[in-house]
Amino acid sequence: MAKNLKKFVNPRFTQAVDLALLRRLFEPVAGDLQGLDLGIFDGEPEVARQAVADFFAGPEENYPEGLAGALHQIAELSTAQGLQLILEQARRLQVQFGPANDNQEATEARQEPKHMALLAFLDYPAVFKAASDVLSYSTLASYSEYGAVEEGINTEVDATAMAAFRDAAARLFETELRGRFCQVSHYDDDGEFHVVVTHGAPFKTTRVVDGDTAHIISLRETDQAVLSYSPAIGLLKVGGFAKGRRQELAEIFAAVLLQRPQFFAAPDAQDLYTLAPVEREGMSFSFQHAFDRGIRSVQIIEAQADRLGPDPRSGKPKVYWSLVARDSRYSALVRLLEGRREIVFGTDWRLNHIVLRIHFDVGDTKPVRVTVKLKPPGTAMFKRHRFEGRIMELLRRNGLVNDRDARQSAVAAE
């Protein structure tokens, strides 16, 4: 399952979303749930929330794929930005959207973005789908990825190790002025080891409305960092934390949970992707995807070329200007290169990045579209909760993932 869909482990969502709506989400698939009795929703709210969190952190065969996929989408729209998109799409579709309640206090409580996103999914599916589509075009999930010095090294996890990891991570967050609060959970998903770190966000002071009055409060919200490690290929992904400090979080992971300090610190640790095949073939390049019958088509919808030259001060290559082409119907790569004979990759030009749109057949009339931005040497940006394994296989099969084994063998031979 993990090659197609990641588990749903989101404490901020499961601990805050409206339980009555969450129960409604579960009810249509109650017969397919293994290990979750919907009777928990009749008891204490905190007990119900913990049971739901434990259910999703458990074995993936216990819940239907469609449910986890829906929850990922709902959680993405459970923000202020997501709520704004839902309201905009409701207006565009001329749908009267919102909770109906004569009690002002109760109505305001039900206007919280998590509640509204779940309400839209359940009662206004057209509005929800339109908002989700807009969000998928405007945001891409960014992870920092680190290749290990060797493959096949498993995590050493027990209560003592996780406590040590938590304490070391807490010290890192404290240096970022995020307080000392730190909670850590972990789970396995089809060969990948995942760590979810809930920590403090930057402290803030804000003006809030309480009935007919307004006053100032100070608070620190929670935030999440996520680490995903694949022992088989020696790859660690780190997201949800300041990019400039992710290397330090990776080092804590390596030193504490792998007992291998500097495991992700090799000079080529982030030299993971390449656009060399695209540069080499130019306008004739096209993605080969016949190996995956579920992929209908792959489009290049954006491409950027950089004009390089020596920096007068350092002598090192410098980007003097860039050309960007976008084409959502045909090929942005063709649009970029046609009629521009001066662009010859490998000389004074390089391909900076490409953006793909992959169309996955899921049995519906319309395919599911996933947007991927590939920017060497270390960035592949896309929402990884669905189709991640198949997307990475597509990139590998088309020569866009660097072969670390070959490089390491070459270095050893030298």
| Nearest of 87, 18, 70, 92 to residue 49 by alpha carbon | 18
Distance, in Å, from the CA atom of 324 to the CA atom of 210, rounded to the nearest integer, reads 49
Above 70 in pLDDT, residue 409? no
Above 80 in pLDDT, residue 213? yes
Look at residue 13 in the predicted model and tell me its pLDDT: 80
190 vs 330, higher pLDDT:
330
Look at residue 170 in the predicted model and tell me its pLDDT: 94
Residues sharing a CB contact under 8 Å with residue 75, sequence separation 6 or more, in sequence order:
8, 10, 13, 114, 117
Q: For residue range 339-351, what is the model confidence (pLDDT) as tens digits?
A: 788 899 988 999 9
Above 60 in pLDDT, residue 1? no
Look at residue 356 in the predicted model and tell me its pLDDT: 95
Above 70 in pLDDT, residue 107? no
| CB of 291 closer than 8 Å to CB of 398 | no
Structure confidence at residue 103 as a pLDDT band (50, 70, 90): very low
Average confidence (pLDDT) over 380-402? 90
Average confidence (pLDDT) over 85-99? 84
What percent of the chain has a predicted confidence (pLDDT) above 90? Answer: 37
What amino acid is encoded at 3 in this protein?
K
Structure confidence at residue 54 as a pLDDT band (50, 70, 90): confident
| CB of 145 closer than 8 Å to CB of 236 | yes
Which helix or strand (DSSP H or E) is residue 161 part of?
Answer: helix 159-175
Q: For residue range 276-322, what is the model confidence (pLDDT) as tens digits?
A: 999 999 999 999 999 999 999 999 999 999 999 988 888 788 899 99
Residues sharing a CB contact under 8 Å with residue 254, sequence separation 6 or more, in sequence order:
236, 260, 261, 262, 263, 264, 265
Above 60 in pLDDT, residue 15? yes
Look at residue 104 in the predicted model and tell me its pLDDT: 47
**Helix boundaries (H) for 110-158:** 113-123, 125-138
